[in-house]
Amino acid sequence: MGKGALGVSVVLAFCGSAVSLSMYRSDAAKRWGEQTAPWQSPSNSGALINKDVLTMVKAGLPSEVIVAKIKSSACDFDTSPNEFGDLKKAGLPDGVILAMVQALTARSVKQREVSAEPSVDQILAKYIQALGGKAAIERQTQFVSRGSWESEVKSGTVEVYGKAPNRMLTLMDVPGFGQIRDGFDGSVAWHEDPQVGVQEINGRESSAIRRMAEFYGDLKLRQLYPKIITKGKQNVGQRAAYVVEADSGDGLFRRMYFDTQIGLLLRDDTEYDTPEGRASVTRYFDDYRDVDAVKVTFTVRQSDKNGSLTFRLTESRFDVALDDAVFARPTAGTTIGSEAPPELPVTSSISAAAQSEQSGTTPTARGVNEGLAVM
């Protein structure tokens, strides 16, 4: 699973530019644009060079337009003293020369920032250390977590069970509807609720759940996601985060945001396949606590097309003993993801229950658990 290691990935995991610049264009600017459009820098790299600036000056462009062009373009100027002397003799205004110097300074700063950013492996290594370290994570083999969930219109309790290497079970009690159960027994993914009964999950959806059910998923992100790259930095609230994109190659895509200072996972945007089509969910992780030397996130805020959910744990333990039978698929039922899916949409369960009480945006049965299942 891989969200808050044994924290989200194993605990709540299975529970469901730059500012645009307006350029003043005089008649001369328009004439120059018409004569050279589409304008391209003579340099092979496409970046502005000294010759390009001289061309704009000779075309009669106002200094403001030239400066704007410099600021909005990639630049590769020669700013040596001799070259600047030649530019001054050629009539370049001081404001344009200053913009050329500033452009190179900005590029240098940006290059230093990029080169200073860590690699994917460094980000993931820091994440594992922040969670407690590889040894502490591998010491754990089973867990039980209990807590509550709430949406805009409902609330209830949740229990999550996990066992290495890849067994998982989630129980969600929904007032006025009943209990929703989602599980993975090591080979088969299944769902059960009072409305649709027991359903086996197959196809690409099952493949995604299998990957996300990995008890030590945080330690195996490289193996679980063949394509994983860094995508710079972005703020999550007031915290700066490194963005890492992970593609499983079979429909599961994640964009993870790791705290630049602490290393913990702050946010996860996940896309995955369901019988109803492509789905996406965003989660924010908070309130990390030490549980047997491993960091576990006790609060997860989730949002998707069905609305928002907040999960809060009240208890999380690793010192438990669970029989494999706990995760076994219940008695026979229909199959989700088969060529002939059940007539009743799986994602309508809780919605139907809610509609019997009031009109609102209550989370859907598997809509809830699917969302958290890919955590």
Q: pLDDT for 218-232, tens place per residue?
A: 999 999 999 999 999
* Angle of helix 365-373 versus helix 203-212 axis, rounded to 10: 50
For residues 4 and 296, is the Cβ–Cβ distance under 8 A?
Answer: yes
Instruction: Using DSSP bridges, classify how beta strands 253-259 and 265-274 pair: parallel, antiparallel or unpaired.
Output: antiparallel
Tokens of 102: 């500033």
CA–CA separation, 39 and 31 (whole Å): 12
More confident residue, 14 or 317: 317
**Residue whose token pair is 């490194």:** 242
More confident residue, 90 or 110: 90
Tokens of 209: 């759940």
CA–CA separation, 1 and 215 (whole Å): 6
Q: What is the pLDDT of residue 142?
A: 95
Mean pLDDT for the chain? 78
What single letter denotes the amino acid at residue 126?
Answer: K
In this prediction, residues 50-63 reach a mean pLDDT of: 89
CA–CA separation, 217 and 2 (whole Å): 5
For residues 348 and 368, is the Cβ–Cβ distance under 8 A?
Answer: no
In this prediction, residues 108-123 reach a mean pLDDT of: 75
CA–CA separation, 49 and 69 (whole Å): 12
In this prediction, residues 179-199 reach a mean pLDDT of: 92
Q: What is the pLDDT of residue 75?
A: 86
pLDDT value at 281 more than 50: yes
Q: Give me the helices (H) in 228-356, please.
A: 349-355
CA–CA separation, 210 and 190 (whole Å): 11
Band of residue 118 on the pLDDT scale cut at 50, 70, 90: very high
In this prediction, residues 179-195 reach a mean pLDDT of: 93
pLDDT value at 177 more than 90: yes
- pLDDT tens by residue, 262-273: 999 999 999 988
More confident residue, 22 or 208: 208
CA–CA separation, 254 and 13 (whole Å): 14
More confident residue, 160 or 106: 160
In this prediction, residues 91-109 reach a mean pLDDT of: 82
C-alpha dihedral, 256 to 345 to 12 to 315, nearest 10°: 160
More confident residue, 48 or 5: 48
Q: What is the pLDDT of residue 82?
A: 82
Tokens of 284: 């924010």
In this prediction, residues 149-153 reach a mean pLDDT of: 93
In this prediction, residues 90-103 reach a mean pLDDT of: 88
**CATH 2.50.20.10 domain locations along the chain:** 8-16+122-373
In DSSP notation, 261-292 reads: TT--EEEEEEEEEETTEEEEEEEEEEEEEEET
CA–CA separation, 372 and 375 (whole Å): 5
Which residues in the chain belong to E strands, given as ranges? 142-150, 155-163, 167-174, 178-184, 189-193, 197-201, 227-236, 239-247, 253-259, 265-274, 277-291, 294-304, 307-317, 334-336
Band of residue 361 on the pLDDT scale cut at 50, 70, 90: very low
More confident residue, 204 or 249: 249
Contacts of 160 (CB under 8 A, 6+ apart): 10, 11, 12, 13, 14, 15, 143, 144, 145, 146, 168, 169, 170, 171
Band of residue 13 on the pLDDT scale cut at 50, 70, 90: very low
Domain 8-16+122-373 has CATH 2.50.20.10: yes
Q: Give burial (CB, 10 Å; 0-12/13-18/19+) of 254.
A: buried
- pLDDT tens by residue, 291-343: 999 999 999 999 998 899 999 999 999 989 999 999 999 875 544 443 333 33
**Which of 85-89, 198-202, 310-314, 342-346 reaches the highest mean pLDDT?**
310-314
Question: Of 92, 99, 98, which is closest to residue 73 (Cα–Cα)?
Answer: 99
Share of the chain above pLDDT 90, in %: 48
pLDDT value at 367 more than 70: no
Buried/exposed 163-180: b ≥16 CB within 10 Å, e otherwise: beebbbbbbbebeebbeb
pTM for the model? 0.64
